[in-house]
């Protein structure tokens, strides 16, 4: 590539993260030592070459069908999750901290779920308002009094983390129902190994490809007692689900059948799948279907995706479900605000990874504060996922702010507010140059008997300049996340 006059040839020398914390460079006053070699290698690359490799990677993702489906008015279109070839790098000590923090959080949420479906001590002690829990539409009375193996409810958890201007990781959101995205973690690594083996050489990156084994181990651990060789399956809503690729990926990695509701039947409170040789028993189900669709007999009667009678089979202990039914009450955005208090209450510890400062608009003071500072805050509905319904004060128009104010006043308990977090940035290949783009991080934790956290997680990147919303449904992409091996170890 011919270098434009006056522009230095070093690929990163004109890069400027501004005021944000940068994942590759670190803070301005705290340069990231652990990425020095990676930066050096990146800087030596030619921009056209980088673009070409990036295009090759995206072409390959499309050909491999590593896609999600976007539905428009008429068509269902296969889209790839845009992939950026510049990795996001996490040092060994940073990761050790995150790993402990995620495990702590999973433990607290599982203790909480066990408590609210049994003795409800935390409600009796007034630590969390009772109506917030029992009035939550994801609270499942069917779970009351039911014991689950190892008291684990959230077997697969995705914790959304962001990093503020000072480089402090904070929890933005818990995903304890059917968190998705882990397939991209593994596939992004494969992609990097194909297009950028030279960048990765001798860096010492912790592998991510054993996720399937770990998941299968947990699924076997939680299977009903007394079954020698439990049949594990993955239950998917089917090929039209936007995350179908991930379902395929996980079923393959675990080496188990990918079933749909219509493949399963319940007979005498036992679950079976329909095979070429008749019915075969099923013992442990990784379900990628929300509670509401799981059993038309017990929940949404219109669901064609579920399995009639499966709740009863579950209650009898004849089949294991991951995640357990009724976990949605723990990853609710309003309950989220209480997680630090939960950690203290159940574990007598301080949160290792703090929350983002959050106000619960059901509390009058918080509502007033939110209304008074609307233009500076992010307001989120508590029940939505995928970045929908969010109002970002500093970027909203007058009309949008007024609309938000009206909604807040009409139904305050449906909202929380948070300050705008200055999400950290990471160098990203853009049309003309390498530019800073905001990223978040979703580590995945698997819990059966004990917890294991996949080193790294999904780094989502907001590809549109300036935007903070990283969700794939809103134009986000992803990056490979490198957790470096620790020092001499």
Partner 1 sequence: MNLLSRYAECIFWMARYMERAENLARILDVHETFARDTRGATNWFSVVQLNADEKDFFSRHDRPTAEAVIHYYMFDPQNRNSLLSMLRMARENARTLRPWISTEMWTQINVFHNKLLEMSVKDVATQNLSKVCTWIKEECQSHTGITEGTFYRDQGWYFYQMGKYIERADQTTRLLDIKYHTLLPSPVEVGSTLDVSQWTTVLRSTAGYHAFRRVYPRGMSPTTVAGFMLFNEGFPRSVVMCVRQIDGVLTRMRSRYDLRGGAAAMERVDELLAALLSRPIDAVLRDGLHEYLDWIQLQLNVITTEIAQAFFGVQPPLAVQSQSQ
Give the residues lining the site for partner 1 (CB under 8 A): 62-65, 231, 239, 244, 248, 251-252, 257-260, 262-263, 273-278, 280
- Quick check: helix, strand or coil at residue 279? strand
**Pick from 106, 149, 112: nearest CA to 132:** 112
In angstroms, what is the minimal distance from the CB of 460 to partner 1? 24
Burial environment of residue 475 by CB neighbours within 10 A (0 to 12, 13 to 18, 19 or more): middle
Contact 350, 343 (CB under 8 A): yes
- Beta carbon nearer to partner 1, 278 or 466: 278
- Beta carbon nearer to partner 1, 144 or 280: 280
Contact 417, 366 (CB under 8 A): yes
How many Cα atoms sit within 13 Å of 408 on the Cβ side?
A: 28
- Beta carbon nearer to partner 1, 187 or 480: 187
- Beta carbon nearer to partner 1, 72 or 276: 276
In angstroms, what is the minimal distance from the CB of 275 to partner 1? 4
- Beta carbon nearer to partner 1, 98 or 251: 251
**Pick from 236, 100, 84, 222: nearest CA to 150:** 222
- Beta carbon nearer to partner 1, 55 or 373: 55
- Beta carbon nearer to partner 1, 62 or 388: 62
In angstroms, what is the minimal distance from the CB of 271 to partner 1? 14
**Pick from 363, 364, 339: nearest CA to 353:** 339
Please state, in angstroms and as integers, the Cα–Cα distance from residue 381 to each residue in 177, 399, 402, following that order. 17, 18, 16
In angstroms, what is the minimal distance from the CB of 85 to partner 1? 21
Enumerate residues 6+ apart whose C-beta is below 8 A from 386.
471, 473, 474
In angstroms, what is the minimal distance from the CB of 233 to partner 1? 9
d(CA 90, CA 95): 6
Q: How many helices (H) and strands (E) does the chain have?
A: 15, 24
In angstroms, what is the minimal distance from the CB of 184 to partner 1? 16
Enumerate residues 6+ apart whose C-beta is below 8 A from 369.
359, 417
d(CA 484, CA 489): 11
Please state, in angstroms and as integers, the Cα–Cα distance from residue 340 to each residue in 25, 171, 176, 347, 378, following that order. 31, 10, 16, 10, 20
In angstroms, what is the minimal distance from the CB of 463 to partner 1? 23
**Pick from 227, 311, 220, 217: nearest CA to 264:** 311
In angstroms, what is the minimal distance from the CB of 21 to partner 1? 38
Helix H or strand E segment including 303: none
- Beta carbon nearer to partner 1, 228 or 431: 228
- Beta carbon nearer to partner 1, 141 or 278: 278
d(CA 454, CA 467): 28
Please state, in angstroms and as integers, the Cα–Cα distance from residue 451 to each residue in 100, 102, 328, following that order. 10, 9, 19
Q: What does the buried/exposed string (b/e) look like for 181-211 if buried means 16 or more CB atoms within 10 Å of the residue's CB? A: bbbbbbbbbebbeebbeebbeebebbebeeb
DSSP-derived secondary structure for 159-172: EEEEE-TTS-EEEE
In angstroms, what is the minimal distance from the CB of 80 to partner 1? 12
In angstroms, what is the minimal distance from the CB of 315 to partner 1? 26
In angstroms, what is the minimal distance from the CB of 71 to partner 1? 16
- Beta carbon nearer to partner 1, 25 or 211: 211
Contact 355, 388 (CB under 8 A): no
- Beta carbon nearer to partner 1, 52 or 252: 252
């Amino acid at each position: 590539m011919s270098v434009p006059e006056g522009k230095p040839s070093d690929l990163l020398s004109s890069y400027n993260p501004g005021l944000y914390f940068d994942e590759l460079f670190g803070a301005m006053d705290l340069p990231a030592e652990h990425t020095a070699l990676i930066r050096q290698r990146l800087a030596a690359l030619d921009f056209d070459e980088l673009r070409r490799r990036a295009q090759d990677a995206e072409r390959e993702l499309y050909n491999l069908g590593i896609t999600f489906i976007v539905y428009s008015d008429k068509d269902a279109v296969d889209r790839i999750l845009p992939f950026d070839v510049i990795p996001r790098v996490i040092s060994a000590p940073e990761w050790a901290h995150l790993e402990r923090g995620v495990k702590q959080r999973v433990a607290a949420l599982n203790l909480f779920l066990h408590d609210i479906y049994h003795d409800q001590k935390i409600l009796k002690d007034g630590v969390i308002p009772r109506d917030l829990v029992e009035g939550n539409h994801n609270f499942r009375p069917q779970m009351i009094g039911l014991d689950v193996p190892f008291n684990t409810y959230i077997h697969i958890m995705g914790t959304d983390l962001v990093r503020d201007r000072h480089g402090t990781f904070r929890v933005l959101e818990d995903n304890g129902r059917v968190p998705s995205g882990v397939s991209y973690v593994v596939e992004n690594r494969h992609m990097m190994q194909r297009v950028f083996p030279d960048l990765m050489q001798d860096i010492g990156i912790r592998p991510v490809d054993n996720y399937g084994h770990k998941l299968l181990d947990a699924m076997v651990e939680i299977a009903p007692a007394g079954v020698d060789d439990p049949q594990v399956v993955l239950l998917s809503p089917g090929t039209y689900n936007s995350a179908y690729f991930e379902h395929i990926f996980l079923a393959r990695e675990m080496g188990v059948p990918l079933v749909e509701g219509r493949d399963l039947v319940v007979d005498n409170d036992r679950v079976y799948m329909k095979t070429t040789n008749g019915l075969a028993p099923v013992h442990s189900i990784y379900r990628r279907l929300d509670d509401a669709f799981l059993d038309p007999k017990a929940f949404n009667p219109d669901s064609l995706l579920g399995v009639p009678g499966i709740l009863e089979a579950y209650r009898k202990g004849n089949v294991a479900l991951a995640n357990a039914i009724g976990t949605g009450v723990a990853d609710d955005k309003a309950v989220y605000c209480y997680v630090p208090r939960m950690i203290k209450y159940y574990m007598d510890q301080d949160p290792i990874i703090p929350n983002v400062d959050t106000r619960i608009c059901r509390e009058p003071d918080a509502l007033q504060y939110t209304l008074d500072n609307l233009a500076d805050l992010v307001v989120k509905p508590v029940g939505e996922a995928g970045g929908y319904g969010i109002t970002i004060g500093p970027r909203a128009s007058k009309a949008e702010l007024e609309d938000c104010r009206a909604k807040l006043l009409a139904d305050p308990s449906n909202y929380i507010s948070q300050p705008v977090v200055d999400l950290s940035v990471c160098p990203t290949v853009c049309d003309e140059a390498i530019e800073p783009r905001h990223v978040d991080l979703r580590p995945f934790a698997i819990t059966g008997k004990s917890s294991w956290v996949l080193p790294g997680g999904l780094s989502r990147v907001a590809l549109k300049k300036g935007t903070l919303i990283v969700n794939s449904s809103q134009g986000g992409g992803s990056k490979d996340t490198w957790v470096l091996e620790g020092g001499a170890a």
